[in-house]
Chain A
Amino acid sequence: DQQVKQNSPSLSVQEGRISILNCDYTNSMFDYFLWYKKYPAEGPTFLISISSIKDKNEDGRFTVFLNKSAKHLSLHIVPSQPGDSAVYFCAAPGGAGGTSYGKLTFGQGTILTVHP
């Protein structure tokens, strides 16, 4: 049972354009979401997060949108740069009520390629 799904295995965009990476979840208990970026031969790096009390969080070129009714979140990168080429994972912690926020459920990842 995949509780966090990234249905697009890959995405290719031109430098300077917008990249939109999507993520769906099935567990309505999830109340916090994170995006991680991963380069080859490195571990995942935290990018941005959003709490379920918000519908948008912005950090520089990165914005995450959350649509709770649709159980959907998306990561927007504007403008996209070649250095953004990496695998992007969305993730959600195990749940509230004292559960560790480090017990993350990850999506399968989307490979983003930004062409110069």
Chain B
Amino acid sequence: DSGVTQTPKHLITATGQRVTLRCSPRSGDLSVYWYQQSLDQGLQFLIQYYNGEERAKGNILERFSAQQFPDLHSELNLSSLELGDSALYFCASSVSSGENSPLHFGNGTRLTVT
């Protein structure tokens, strides 16, 4: 058990809809990261927050947004969903964003867009 909790585990929704994925980091971790794993693209970094502030951004679509709340949990919002957004979405956390602070991943949310 990594200590990172993601909810829900599975989500099935229709194209055009909006969903929110939730992540609770390990106790004491200040950094939260979101990754997308799709069949053709592998694991792709989306965005990082550190203590409530956006710290780094990857190839995150404009239809996607995230935030980190004062209690350090994070939410990833996906809107105007398309079939191609179907993927596993992982949240990870770490104490900091430094070299000796490896990421601890949650078990992911599987999103299916129909």
Which residues of A does B touch, CB under 8 Å?
32, 34, 36, 41-46, 49, 51, 89, 91, 93-94, 99-109
Q: A41-B107, A43-B108 are in contact. Are A103 and B2 (CB under 8 A)?
A: no
Taking a contact as CB atoms under 8 Å apart, the answer to whether B48 and A43 are in contact is no
Taking a contact as CB atoms under 8 Å apart, the answer to whether A107 and B42 are in contact is yes
Tally inter-chain residue pairs, CB-CB below 8 A: 63
* Total number of B residues with any Cβ neighbor in A under 8 Å: 27
Taking a contact as CB atoms under 8 Å apart, the answer to whether B99 and A104 are in contact is no
Interface residues of B in 3-50 (CB under 8 A from A): 4, 31, 33, 42-45, 48, 50
Q: A44-B90, A45-B2, A100-B55 are in contact. Are A105 and B103 (CB under 8 A)?
A: no
* Cross-interface CB contact of B103 among A41, A42, A104, A108, cutoff 8 Å: A104
* Cross-interface CB contact of B56 among A46, A51, A99, cutoff 8 Å: A99
Taking a contact as CB atoms under 8 Å apart, the answer to whether B58 and A103 are in contact is yes
Give min CB distance, B14 to chain A, whole Å.
Answer: 25
Give min CB distance, B4 to chain A, whole Å.
Answer: 7
B67: which A residues are within 8 A, CB to CB? none
Give min CB distance, B7 to chain A, whole Å.
Answer: 14
Q: Which residue of B lies closest to A99 (CB)?
A: B56
Give min CB distance, A45 to chain B, whole Å.
Answer: 7
Q: Does B97 have its Cβ within 8 Å of any Cβ on chain A? A: yes
> How many angstroms between the C-alpha atoms of A102 and B45 in the bound complex?
9
Taking a contact as CB atoms under 8 Å apart, the answer to whether A34 and B102 are in contact is yes
5 closest Cβ pairs, A-B complex: A43-B105, A46-B102, A106-B43, A100-B97, A100-B56
